[in-house]
Amino acid sequence: MILEYIIISLYSISLLLVFMYALAQLNLLFNYLSSKKKIDESETFDLSKDEEIPYVTIQLPVYNELYVMERLLDNIALLKYPREKLEIQVLDDSTDESVNSTAEHIKKLQATGLDIQHIRRENRVGFKAGALKEGLKIAKGEFIAIFDADFLPKPCWLEKTVLYFKDPEIGVVQTRWGHINRNYSTLTKVQAFALDAHFSLEQVGRNSKGHFINFNGTAGIWRKECIIDAGNWEGDTLTEDLDLSYRAQLKKWKFKYLEDVVTPAELPVVISAARSQQFRWNKGGAENFQKMLAKIITSKNVNFKTKIHSVLHLLNSSMFTCIFLMGVLSIPMLYIKNEYAHLRVYFIVMSFFVTSTIIFFICYWFMYKRTFGGGIKSFIKYIGAFFTFFSIAMGFSLHNTIAVLEGHFGKKSEFVRTPKFNIKSLKDSWKNNKYIKKRPSLNVIIEGILALYFAFGLYSAFIVGDQGGDFGLFPFHLMLFVGFSYVFFKSIFSKA
């Protein structure tokens, strides 16, 4: 009976934590909806006056980006901004043949009068954070715009962002990510679904009430003074962007989020690339929770509600641990439920927490509607998109749980960047991409075993109890089975 109570306790705690997270998301939805009624009255630079146009440095941190460097450089060269007030730093840590082709392309752009420099280091100390810090030492700009290699800002991007820095308290302006290959596959659709929720619901929901948000590592622009004042870039976590964001806001710098300024980017099209990105983001989130928790709680500059949202924000990735535990324990819970009649009241109470899924369903609908519009047809498509997203997110829960646990327990690992593909449509192929990880890890095998485990959960629904089965957890087990099966088979068969 002791084992049964341990299972019940762990399952209940996980269920309660997910419910608390869902309530926080609901609060962000209310914030998001109320923000739409407000008029932006920010003071801005008048860029028609030469004396008000600030000097900007664009930093492009890159590492072995053979397939997208030319596209990136050509796109950045199209930005509309006075050339006498613009500097571009290509922070190139590459170790492959892209170094030479990048250098040649930069020379061509220099010949057009563009102030663009190819900056190389002897090592990758600090990874991306180290490269950004190195470039900052010689940056001429008062403001520092940062773009990863797969981002394609529109020509008017600087004109729409830099003007908000007239307010001396603003340290960062962040823009929303777009997706140039959203419809390439189920995998890209799921990633776009999740990112859309973050960039609308979460970023707007927090920013509109003055809660902490994060610079997203790219497609944003910093005040150089803010970076220095916050302690500069540090490479001790895998999400240096989240780290510096929190240090800056603890120093009372304000962040400005522009939902209506979209910066298109390429989503990973193969699951090994999505895995490496997910691992880095989730482990980095846990690392930052450990690094920042005490500073947030003890800060006198932060109000109580912002502290709550900040802690939950840093625990975002840890929700995968709760989901994974709930999934694994849900099958024993099915048998416990039907074996111990005296626990009937407990299970009736626990059924209330299905409202977590309902809350997520409502919150994400508003985000989906923003992109695809309302109406019955759109809502029907949304139902499919939501449950596809939920299932595959569950399928990633083992992978992301390992990342989270490594982050919380302080296990250090190398910054593994996400391979880029230069893919926009189904006609484009990733099959010969030299950066793709060829061999699946042991975790993939475990994911296959978990798919079979949840298939057993589906079977169990028909055989437990004396009343012809118990199908209360059947939808949950179905999503877990679909999610782990998808991740397993994609990881095994989607190889170059």
- Reading across the β-sheet that carries 254-265, which strands appear in turn? 116-120, 86-92, 56-62, 143-146, 220-223, 170-179, 254-265
| b/e map 23-57, b = 16+ CB within 10 Å | ebbbbbbebbeebeeeeeeeeebebeeeeebbbbb
Dihedral, 207, 211, 213, 219 alpha carbons, nearest 10 = 30
What is the token pair recorded at 236? 């001790």
Dihedral pair phi/psi, residue 90, rounded to 5°: -95, 100
CB atoms under 10 Å from CB of 429, counted, come to 11
Pairing of strands 170-179, 143-146: unpaired
Alpha carbon distance 454, 443 (integer Å): 16
Three-state DSSP state, 470: coil
- For tokens 């596959």, name the residue: 185
Residues 6+ away with beta carbon under 8 Å from 223: 142, 143, 144, 165, 170, 171, 172, 253
Residues 6+ away with beta carbon under 8 Å from 226: 171, 172, 248, 253
Alpha helices in 299-436 (DSSP H): 304-314, 319-339, 344-350, 355-372, 376-395, 397-408
- For tokens 């327990």, name the residue: 409
Question: Do the Cβ atoms of 363 and 201 come closer than 8 Å?
Answer: yes
Alpha carbon distance 17, 11 (integer Å): 10
Question: Do the Cβ atoms of 63 and 73 come closer than 8 Å?
Answer: no
Alpha carbon distance 265, 270 (integer Å): 15
Dihedral, 255, 360, 338, 469 alpha carbons, nearest 10 = -150
Q: Please give the helix or strand (H or E) that residue 49 lies within, else none.
A: none
Query: DSSP label at 417?
Result: P
Query: DSSP label at 202?
Result: I
Q: Indicate which residues carry an active-site annotation.
A: 93, 241
- At position 286, the amino acid (one-letter code) is A
